[in-house]
Amino acid sequence: MEKYFYKLHGLGNDMIVIDDREGAIAPYDMPRVARKLCNRRTGIGGDCLLVAKDSDIADIAMLVYNSDGTQAEMCGNGIRCFSRVVYESGLIPYDGFTVDTLSGVKKPQLLLMDGEVKAVRVDMGVPDFLTGDIPMDVDCEEFIRQPITAAGREFIATAVNTGIPQLVVFVDNVRTLDIEKYGPALEHHEFFPEKTNVSFVEIENRRSVVMRAWERGCGATLCCGTGATAVAAACIKSGLTERIVSVMVPLGALRIEWDGENNIYMSGPAEKVFEGKVII
């Protein structure tokens, strides 16, 4: 079977988008397709596969499959890239719409210049700090700036759900941290029955932080949108930053806005790389 695909990235977090609204790919076969297409040697290469589907509750649905074939509830950089494809391919001909995800309906707003998508601002919903909702297996209602030990080292961290489970880990020097050692240890920590994304963060000042991402089912990535949203939410809730935060990653920054109570907003680029047909 041939499928048309689009390859994009959000600040280096790269992904493949395909349209399967007709249901040509069986649900049980999606993990295999994701592993094949995301393979960087024998496939297109990507951190995840995004699949467009019809929805009864939104304008369109987005399914997310990690590079290892596991399904994720949501992808922050992914929804920006997905939204650009949906708009520019004509699936939805207007610049604001709703996207059905496994973590709820999201609302991207395209920022256009001469008809071209320059950035996407996404309503990411309300950050959820309740440990039962993350989910997290601990004896406290919220896990905010608490100690957690992994791979022989104790960290101070905050847990939050921003569409998927997130652990925000505060460090003094994020650039020299061995995330290949500590990332998987925290991802699989006993506190997280469904595993977790891990975002290591260093606070530069009250308006800017630096982040490195370890994503559940993907490993180290150059950026994580839901992770950056979690980082800002964790910093704002603890009073460590202002309510508009630049989350710096190797290829740029995401702008996160949160008043501390209501919905949180993420803004950033969605860059097209190439498109074509692939046999799946």
What are the φ and ψ backbone dihedral angles of 84, each rounded to 5 degrees?
-65, -45
- Tell me whether residue 259 is exposed, middle or buried, using C-beta atoms within 10 angstroms of its C-beta: 0 to 12, 13 to 18, 19 or more: exposed
Q: Report the catalytic residues.
A: 75, 224
Contact 278, 40 (CB under 8 A): no
**Beta-carbon count within 10 A of 82 CB:** 28
- Report d(CA 7, CA 17) in Å as an integer: 6
Q: First vs last Cα of the chain: how many Å apart?
A: 6
- Report d(CA 261, CA 236) in Å as an integer: 10
What are the φ and ψ backbone dihedral angles of 81, each rounded to 5 degrees?
-65, -45
Identify which of 183, 181, 130, 179 has the alpha carbon closest to the alpha carbon of residue 158.
130
Chain-centroid distance, C-alpha 272 = 17
